[in-house]
Amino acid sequence: MDFSLTREQQLAKEMLEKFVENEVRPIAAEIDETEEFPIETVKKMARLGMMGIPFEREIGGAGGDFITYIMAVEELAKACATTSVVLSAHTSLCCWPIYAYGTDEQKAKYLPKLLKGEHLGAFALTEPNAGTDAASQQTTAKLEGDYYTLNGSKVFITNGGYADIFIVFAMTDRSKGTKGISAFIVEKGFEGFSLGKIEDKMGIRASSTAELIFKDCKVPKENLLGKEGIGFKIAMSTLDGGRIGIAAQALGIAEGALNEAVKYMKERKQFGKPIATFQGLQFYIADMATRVEAAKNLVYKAAWKKQTGQNYSLDAAMAKLYASETAMYVTTKAVQIFGGYGFTKDYPVERMMRDAKITEIYEGTSEVQKMVISANILK
């Protein structure tokens, strides 16, 4: 058993830490305030190969590995949850399904630009009436000649306002239920595609969470991903991997808040001594650090299983459930440790607490993770 990073992963960690300190942390509070999508940061990440970490160089990827990708999401989230989810949604939810289910032509057409970060990716499954109940898709796709015609709308699409390529799910045959759902690669310039509302959110405020509208949107039939009717399978398997990304994001948020709390406890004095000397708060730190470590082990074990080709569905669900709850616990405690200052925007912990909440909700709520976990255990 070996918990150590490879030499390459170690170098990547050093690079990521520097990048985050210099390029990400300084603007995290500002983009939270302005809701301005960090497009310049994404361009910088692209130049460093960060938008295609776990994919082979032959198809335009950076030639890294899945653990390094997860580490990148984690390191970004320590300073800025928004930037981390941009990377996670792009990599896990758009690049991966094209890589796993695309034809050679689709891969050759879309992956090089996505993996080099020249294009940004997104994933469009959720609808106003199809959240956790993702199977009740209202968006339809009808084959007419050389095109599928898409009608309907999607909501809460991460990266939505800035993405170039979308993986869109739609009903091709309602009579077949979940087996009637298909997946499509949609370019933002396709006729009949438009953006709707951009959400004003509690956290990850700069991540451009958009509504997508399809009005007789013409999608070339060669842009069907996989076969007709396997869309639900594509969505579920994509989300299995995506969960490790969100778990890493939650872990990073928790680590970021823990670091802030430790720093503050050593500086802040009350009753004539640093508040780090008070046992009540020391016990908070012990609980926070222990949960962070447990979350980290779950996240990296899931990532290792995916990287080594093992079945990771159960591990990913456990990692996502526990890491997101840890993020909520640690950030809430961090605000408590900061007291009144923690409730202000002078310190980053209030932002971290707002950012943490979404990790218990998107890419499968905590309740969905429990369904996945129990179904695996009780089968």
Which residues contribute to the site for another protein (CB under 8 A)?
Answer: 7-8, 11-12, 14-15, 18-19, 47-50, 53, 57, 62-65, 68
Q: Which is nearer to another protein, 68 or 359 (CB)?
A: 68
Q: Which two tokens stand for residue 165?
A: 């390529």
Least separation in angstroms between residue 10's CB and another protein is 9
Contacts of 243 (CB under 8 A, 6+ apart): 302, 316, 317, 319, 320, 363, 364, 369
Least separation in angstroms between residue 78's CB and another protein is 17
Least separation in angstroms between residue 363's CB and another protein is 24
Q: Which is nearer to another protein, 20 or 219 (CB)?
A: 20
Least separation in angstroms between residue 68's CB and another protein is 7
Least separation in angstroms between residue 73's CB and another protein is 13
Instruction: Give the integer Cα–Cα distance in Å for 149 and 59.
Output: 30
* Three-state SS letters, the chain: CCCCCCHHHHHHHHHHHHHHHHHHHHHHHHHHHHCCCCHHHHHHHHHCCHHHCCCCHHHCCCCCCHHHHHHHHHHHHHHCHHHHHHHHHHHHHHHHHHHHHCCHHHHHHHHHHHHCCCCCEEEECCECCECCCCCCCCCEEEEECCEEEEEEEEEEECCCCCCCEEEEEEECCHHHHHHHEEEEEEECCCCCEEEEEECCCCCCCCCCCEEEEEEEEEEEHHHEECCCCCHHHHHHHHHHHHHHHHHHHHHHHHHHHHHHHHHHHHHCEECCEEHHHCHHHHHHHHHHHHHHHHHHHHHHHHHHHHHCCCCCHHHHHHHHHHHHHHHHHHHHHHHHHHHHHHHCCCCCHHHHHHHHHHCCCCCCCHHHHHHHHHHHHHC
Active-site residue, from 30, 127, 363, 367: 363
Instruction: Give the integer Cα–Cα distance in Å for 83 and 28.
Output: 8
Least separation in angstroms between residue 258's CB and another protein is 22
Q: Which is nearer to another protein, 66 or 184 (CB)?
A: 66
Mark whether 8 is an active-site residue.
no
Q: Which is nearer to another protein, 53 or 254 (CB)?
A: 53
Q: Which is nearer to another protein, 47 or 227 (CB)?
A: 47
Q: Which is nearer to another protein, 50 or 120 (CB)?
A: 50
Instruction: Give the integer Cα–Cα distance in Å for 70 and 336.
Output: 29
Task: Report yes or no: 327 and 251 within 8 Å, Cβ to Cβ.
Answer: yes
Q: Which is nearer to another protein, 46 or 171 (CB)?
A: 46
Least separation in angstroms between residue 26's CB and another protein is 15
Residues annotated as catalytic (active site), given as ranges: 363
